[in-house]
Homo-oligomer: A and B are copies of this chain.
Amino acid sequence: MDGSGEKKPAKRRSQERVLQRDPERTRAAILEAATREFAENGMGGARVDAIAERAGTNKRMLYHYFGDKEQLYLHVLEEAYVGIRTAERELHIGDRSPEEGIAELALFTWRYFLRHPEFLSLLGTENLHRARWLRQSVRLKELHSHLIVELTEVLDRGKKTGVFIDAADPLNVYLTIASLGYFYISNQYTLSTIFGRDLADPGNLDAWERHIVHVTLASIKA
Contact = CB atoms under 8 A, between A and B. Distances in A.
Say how many copies of this protein the assembly contains: 2
Secondary structure at chain A's binding surface: helix, strand, loop or mixed?
A: helix
B189 A184 contact: no
B44 A190 contact: no
Nearest to A148: B195
A175 B171 contact: no
Contact of A183 (B148, B171, B179, B207): B179
A98 interface: no
Given A43-B45, A197-B171, A214-B219, A180 B176 contact: yes
Interface in A134-159: 134-135, 140, 143-144, 148
Given A45-B43, A218-B219, A125 B127 contact: no
Contacts of A186: 124, 127
A182 interface: yes
A190 B44 CA distance: 18
A91 interface: no
A208 B176 CA distance: 10
Nearest to A47: B44
A135 B176 contact: no
Contact of A194 (B41, B140, B193): B140
27 contacts: A41-B44, A41-B128, A42-B43, A43-B44, A44-B44, A44-B45, A81-B194, A123-B190, A124-B124, A124-B127, A126-B189, A127-B187, A127-B189, A130-B189, A131-B190, A131-B192, A131-B193, A134-B193, A143-B194, A171-B197, A175-B183, A175-B208, A179-B179, A179-B180, A179-B183, A179-B184, A215-B215
Interface of A: 40-46, 81, 121, 123-128, 130-131, 134-135, 140, 143-144, 148, 171-172, 175-176, 178-180, 182-184, 186-195, 197, 207-208, 211, 214-215, 218-219
Top 4 A-B pairs ranked by shortest CB distance? Answer: A44-B45, A179-B183, A44-B44, A131-B189
